[in-house]
Amino acid sequence: MADLTSRLRDIIRSAPRPAPRELTYVPEGGYEAGIDPDRICDVLGGNPIETAAGPCLAIDRRYEADRWHGDVRIAECAVADDERLQLLDGMLDPASGGGRVIFLDTETTGLSGGAGTVAFLVGCGWFDLGAFQIRQFLLTGFAAEPALLAAVADFVAPADLIVTYNGKTFDLPLMETRWLFHRMETPFAGKRHFDMLHPARRLWRRRTSVAQGFSPAPASGGPDSADDGCSLGALERALVGFARAGDVPGFEIPSRYFQFLRSGDPRPLAAVLEHNRLDLVSLAAVVARGQRLVDGGVEACRDAAESLALGGLFDRGGRHAQAEACYRRASVEGDAPVRAEALLRLALKWRRERRFGEAAEVCRVILNLGTGQRSVDIARRFALEALAVHHEHRERDLEAAREFALAALDADQRPRWRQGVQYRLARQERKLSGVHGEGGPAAAPLLDDHRESD
C-alpha cells in the first residue's frame, strides 16, 4: 500500500499543471463605457495621475491654517505622532519618527462591507506647513479599480502612521480585500494604525444627550457607524462646534455613485466628495482634541464626565497621580452616576495603595448618593461590601460589619452575590456568638486582616 501511494504521488507531481485561473473580472464597457473623463475633471476639479495599472483620477483640496472648522482653526487640528497617541490607544506601537501621518477615509458601494463592496472614493489627508491637504482618489469605473488601488498604495507607502475612524473594522479590511482580490500587495502591511473610534468611546461615550450635540448614529459601516452616540458627525458637533449644512446622508452615497455610472453625470458626486473631505478634517480635529486633553490633564476637561473618562486613560497608562486628580474633580462636580463611578475608582485605587481609611470614607460618601441608577447601584453594592470588610477586619467592629453585610444582602438579589454575603454574615454571627470562624475562641487574632479578596 505504501508503494502504491508513492507511485500515485509521483504521477501527480509529474503531470503538467494547468495555468492558474484568474480570479478577477475586469469589465469591458458596461455602465462606465459612456463616461467622459474630461467632463469629470472639469466638474469635480480633478486631474488624472499615472500609475503602473493605468490612469487614476485624483482631486486635491487645501484647507489653509487660518481657516475655521467650527470653533477651531485648521492649525489647531494638527496631530503629532508621539506618546500622547500611545496613551489614547494602549495598543499603538511607539513612533519610529520621520514618517508622514495620513488620515484615511473611504466611501463605498455598500454600507455593510462584504466581498462585493468596492471603495469608489479614498480620501487621504495630511498636514503641510500648518495647512490640511487632502487628496481624493475617485473610481471612474470598475475597470479602473486596479489603477485606484495602485495610486493609493503609492501614496501611503511613505506613511509611518495611518489614522482612521472605525478603520480597524471597516476601511482597512475592505481595502485589503480589494488588493487581495486583484492580487496586489497591500501597502498597510506592517504599518502602524491609530483608530480614533475606540479612544473616543472611552472619552466621550457619556456625552450622548441631544442637548450636548449627540444624536443616534446610523446603522452602517464607516466613520458614522458607531452605535453608541460616538459617530464622527456627533463628535464634530459636540467637541468642535461644527454643524454641516446640506450634507449628503451616508445611506445615499452608494446610490449617487451608481447614478453616476449609469448616466455619466459626475455632478451627484460633488456632495459625496465634500462629505468625505469634512470627515477627514473632523477626524483630525477630534484626534487633536484627544491630544490636548492628555496635555492639559484635568484642567483641560470641559466637564466631570470628560474628567472621569480621562482619569481612566491615565490609570491605564500608569499616570496614577493625574488619574486621581481627574477622579477627584468628577467625584465633586458630576451628576450622581458620574460621581458614583469616580468615587468607586478612588476607593479601588486607595485600597490597592493600602489607604484603607480613605477608601472607607469614600465608600460612606457613595452610600449617600441614593439608588435607582445602574452605576450608582453598582457603586453602592461595592461600598456596602467594602465597609463590611473594613469594620470586621480593621475596625474590629462586628456589629457595624454585620449591619453593612445585611444591607449588602438586600442590595442585590443575584444568587452568587447573596451566597458570598451570606457566607460573610455566617462568619460574623459565629464571631459575635463567641466562636471563631475556624472553631477557635473569639478573642483569637484575626488572620485575614489584610486579605484584599475578602
Q: How far apart are CA 94 and CA 161, in angstroms?
A: 10
335-432 under CATH 2.40.50.110, yes or no: no
Per domain, the residue ranges of the chain are 30-296, 335-432
Confidence of residue 98 (pLDDT cuts 50, 70, 90): low
Q: How far apart are CA 346 and CA 324, in angstroms?
A: 7
Whether the predicted pLDDT of 430 surpasses 50? yes
Whether the predicted pLDDT of 332 surpasses 70? yes
Amino acid 419: pLDDT: 84
Confidence of residue 220 (pLDDT cuts 50, 70, 90): very low
Mean pLDDT value of segment 386-397: 90
Determine the length of the chain.
454
For the stretch 27-53, pLDDT in tens is: 544 445 457 788 899 999 999 999 999
Whether the predicted pLDDT of 441 surpasses 50? no
Class of domain 30-296 (CATH, top level): alpha beta
More confident: 212 or 148: 148
Amino acid 36: pLDDT: 79
Mean pLDDT value of segment 315-321: 94
In DSSP terms, 72 is beta-bridged to 69
Amino acid 454: pLDDT: 44
The reported pTM is 0.83
Residue 313 has a CB neighbour count (10 Å cut-off) of 22
Confidence of residue 110 (pLDDT cuts 50, 70, 90): confident
For the stretch 176-206, pLDDT in tens is: 999 999 999 999 998 999 999 999 999 998 7
Whether the predicted pLDDT of 210 surpasses 90? no
Amino acid 453: pLDDT: 41
Q: How far apart are CA 209 and CA 190, in angstroms?
A: 39
3-class SS shares of the chain: helix, strand, coil, % to 5: 55, 15, 35
Amino acid 370: pLDDT: 82
**How far is the CA of 442 from the CAs of 216, 427, 454, in angstroms?**
59, 11, 19
In DSSP terms, 57 is beta-bridged to 48, 138
φ, ψ of residue 140 to 5 degrees: the values are -85, -5
Q: How far apart are CA 23 and CA 26, in angstroms?
A: 10
